[in-house]
RNA sequence: UCCAGCGUAGCUCAGUGGUAGAGCGAUCGGCUGUUAACCGAUUGGUCGUAGGUUCGAAUCCUACCGCUGGAGCCA
């Protein structure tokens, strides 16, 4: 909608965002801005107001002259108040900004007072976390959530540009995806008086809402496989729930995950896709959110600019699990946990590899079958599976993926070996029974990617209202 | 869930057995086309909660709660 159209509809001056106003190339006779007052500074016969509307990191400076009819009220404006201001946009006489608005009229929409918790001084992210409903009004969190929005958009753009179909896999699910994490149960059974089975007294879930046990999804992978084996290239992007009692800066109980799944694709194609995507996303954010990245580089992570530069310039390293073990054993480094073929790589091992040895993102692939789930494809060596983890400095695992086992007999053997019930996976086995194809995919933790791009160290600070053990306020 | 650390003013912190402090913020006044303005004054507290030790506890002990970091699990 053009400014003129907006004016015709609203019958008043066109509403301009702070971002648009600051990008102006010439003075404007009259415009209207709306937003929240960040600070007020009084001059001799007028007052400076810093207005922020979230459209940008930057504020618009508003000149409120003492000739305004409500100047007395304006001088009592405190940080946090919401206003509407109308007037001409002119070149600023002061340094620090090129444009400012000379107000002909300022309407106080919602006053604030001295109990407003955000002060015009720095706050720690930990304090701001306690006021999650107000923290998007801070510079840091405004930036985080603008980048979050852009990153989500860039993910869709990446896949849509490449012909992937966006699939909405179920959020309520009957499959537990082979213990990818503890599950949140979904039920309408009254815990005071649950229906019992006739004999052993256990709960009769056949009488529950879905006539079976159901959970919040921990992964859409299995369902995505079904769609990949029809639409060829698909991706999911949605909320994921894990009831793990994890208390770390990298875990949340509700997070968003992106899970591409590609038919006629092997592990190499999968790793190529993962690396291409990570680079694409970094490049997009660098291009589209420069102001935000500048703030992160200044106040959050001094290394950020160099690290992102590095990610774009250098090819990612790629080594097998066996090579990783050999490197760790030769490192001469003393680790708390043993390094031995057949054992999982610990955080300290992954960190050494990506942060100290290679100093760049690293994909480790072909893990021993014993430490990986049933659906991963068995390699010809008979002892490893086509798993891959993409590790990045500072965060660790950001992507986990694999080529899926497409051979019916091998998959059935895997189910037996993992002591899983074939009946629960009938539909999944059908995909191998009818027109089975090699296919592969991975899961990208959206918030972990966002942490990597912004340098923000705690996952709770890249989620609007984070859910973690013992904490579901707001 | 395990290990470690921390809970003192609105915020960030100092205070390690003897009268509860600073900076910032806020409030008031002054100055001023200012930029987290500047100058002066004022305001500010059940020291996380509950017990215990002691003549006396913010300080020592115990339990609990909360937060932070790390581990495991993973994205």
A50 closest-nt by C1' vs CA: B35
pLDDT digits (tens, 9 = 90+) for A152-175: 999 999 999 999 999 999 999 987
Which nucleotide lies closest to A471 by the C1' atom and the CA atom? B66
Distance A189 CA to B8 C1' (A): 47
Instruction: Identify whether residues A172 and A251 lie together within a single domain.
Output: yes
| pLDDT average, residue stretch A355-360 | 88
Residues 6+ apart with CB under 8 A from A32: A12, A13, A14, A15, A16, A84, A85, A86
What are the residues whose beta carbons fall under 8 Å from the beta carbon of A86, sequence distance 6 or more? A12, A13, A30, A31, A32, A103, A104, A105, A106
Question: Is the separation of the CB atoms in A99 and A22 below 8 Å?
Answer: yes
Each residue's pLDDT tens digit, A282-310: 999 999 999 999 999 988 988 899 889 98
- Quickly give A40 CA vs B26 C1' distance in Å: 14
**pLDDT tens, A117-158?**
998 878 999 999 989 999 999 999 999 999 999 999 999 999
Domain co-membership, A251 together with A368 = yes
Which of A93, A110, A127 is the endpoint of a domain?
A110
A:390-429 Cβ neighbours of strand B under 7 Å: 396-400
- More confident position, A122 or A372: A372
Task: Report how far residue A421's alpha carbon sits from residue A175's, in angstroms, rounded to the nearest whole number.
Answer: 12
- Token look-up 């539909």 returns A427
pLDDT given for residue A21 in this prediction: 95
Count of C-beta atoms within a 10 Å radius of residue A471 = 13
Lookup: nucleotide whose C1' is closest to A46 CA: B33
Residue nearest to nucleotide B75 (CA to C1'): A445
Are residue A245 and residue A96 in the same domain, yes or no? no
pLDDT in tens, A344-354: 999 899 999 99
Tokens standing for residue A394: 């500072």
For chain A residues 249-308, those near strand B by a CB cutoff of 7 A are: 249-253, 255, 257
Say how far A192 CA is from B51 C1', in Å.
36
The verdict on residue A201 lying in a domain is no
Domain count, chain A: 2
Residue A50 shares a structural domain with residue A143: no
**What distance in Å separates the CA atoms of residue A98 and residue A109, rounded to the nearest whole number?**
27
CA–C1' A110–B21 (A):
37
Which residue stretches of A197-251 are H helix? 221-231
- Confidence class of residue A246 from pLDDT cuts 50, 70 and 90? confident
Asked whether residue A427 carries a pLDDT value surpassing 80, the answer given is yes
In a domain? residue A212: no
> Would you call A57 helix, strand, or coil by DSSP?
coil
Final residue belonging to a domain, choices A63, A92, A110: A110
Q: What is the pLDDT of residues A191-225, one digit of tens each?
A: 888 898 887 778 898 999 999 889 999 999 999 99
Positions 63-122 of A with beta carbon below 7 A from strand B are 63, 76, 78-79, 92-97, 100, 102, 114, 117, 119-122
Residue A225 corresponds to which tokens in the numbers above? Answer: 């496989």
Is A468 within a domain? no
Protein CB footprint (7 Å) on chain B nucleotides = 1-3, 10-13, 24-28, 31-37, 66-75
Tell me the CATH number at A350. Answer: 3.30.930.10
Averaged pLDDT, A393-422: 91
Domain around A329: 136-183+218-461
Asked whether residue A195 is domain-assigned, the answer is no
């Amino acid at each position: 909608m053009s400014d003129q159209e907006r004016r015709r509809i609203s019958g008043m001056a066109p509403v301009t965002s702070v971002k648009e106003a600051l990008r102006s190339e010439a003075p404007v006779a009259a415009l209207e801005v709306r937003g929240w007052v960040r600070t007020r500074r009084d001059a001799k016969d007028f007052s400076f107001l810093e207005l922020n509307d979230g459209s940008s990191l930057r504020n618009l400076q508003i000149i409120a002259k003492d000739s305004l009819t409500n100047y007395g009220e304006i001088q009592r404006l405190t940080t946090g108040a919401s206003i509407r201001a109308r007037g001409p946009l002119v070149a600023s006489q002061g340094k620090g900004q090129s444009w400012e608005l000379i107000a002909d009229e300022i309407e106080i929409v919602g006053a604030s007072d001295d109990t407003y918790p955000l002060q015009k001084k720095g706050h720690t992210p930990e304090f701001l976390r306690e006021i999650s409903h107000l923290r998007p009004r801070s510079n840091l969190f405004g930036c985080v959530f603008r980048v979050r929005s852009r990153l989500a958009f860039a993910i869709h753009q990446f896949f849509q540009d490449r012909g992937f179909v966006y699939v909405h896999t179920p959020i309520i699910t009957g499959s537990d995806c082979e213990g990818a994490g503890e599950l949140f149960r979904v039920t309408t059974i009254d815990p005071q008086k649950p229906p019992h089975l006739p004999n052993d007294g256990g709960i009769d879930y056949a009488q529950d809402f879905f006539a079976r046990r159901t959970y919040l999804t921990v992964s859409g992978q299995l369902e995505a496989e079904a769609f990949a084996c029809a639409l060829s290239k698909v991706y999911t992007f949605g909320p994921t729930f894990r009831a793990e009692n994890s208390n770390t800066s990298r875990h949340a109980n509700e997070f968003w995950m992106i899970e591409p799944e590609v038919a006629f694709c092997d592990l190499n194609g999968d790793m190529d896709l993962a690396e291409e995507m990570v680079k694409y996303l970094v490049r997009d954010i660098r291009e589209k959110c420069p102001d935000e990245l500048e703030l992160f580089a200044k106040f959050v992570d001094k290394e950020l600019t160099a690290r992102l530069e590095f990610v774009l310039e250098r090819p990612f390293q790629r080594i097998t699990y066996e090579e990783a073990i050999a490197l760790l054993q030769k490192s001469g480094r003393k680790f708390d946990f043993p390094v031995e073929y057949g054992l999982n790589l610990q955080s300290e091992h992954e960190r050494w590899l990506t942060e100290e040895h290679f100093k760049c993102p690293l994909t480790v692939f072909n893990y021993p079958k014993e430490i990986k789930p049933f659906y991963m494809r068995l390699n010809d060596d008979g002892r490893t599976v086509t798993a891959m983890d993409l590790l990045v400095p500072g965060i660790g695992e950001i992507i986990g993926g694999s080529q899926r086992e497409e051979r019916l007999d091998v998959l059935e053997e895997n189910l037996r070996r993992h002591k899983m019930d074939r009946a629960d996976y009938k539909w999944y086995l059908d995909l191998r029974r009818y027109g089975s194809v090699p296919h592969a995919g991975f899961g990208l933790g959206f918030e972990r990617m966002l942490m990597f791009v912004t340098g923000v160290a705690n996952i709770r600070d890249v989620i609007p209202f984070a859910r973690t053990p013992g904490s579901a306020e707001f």
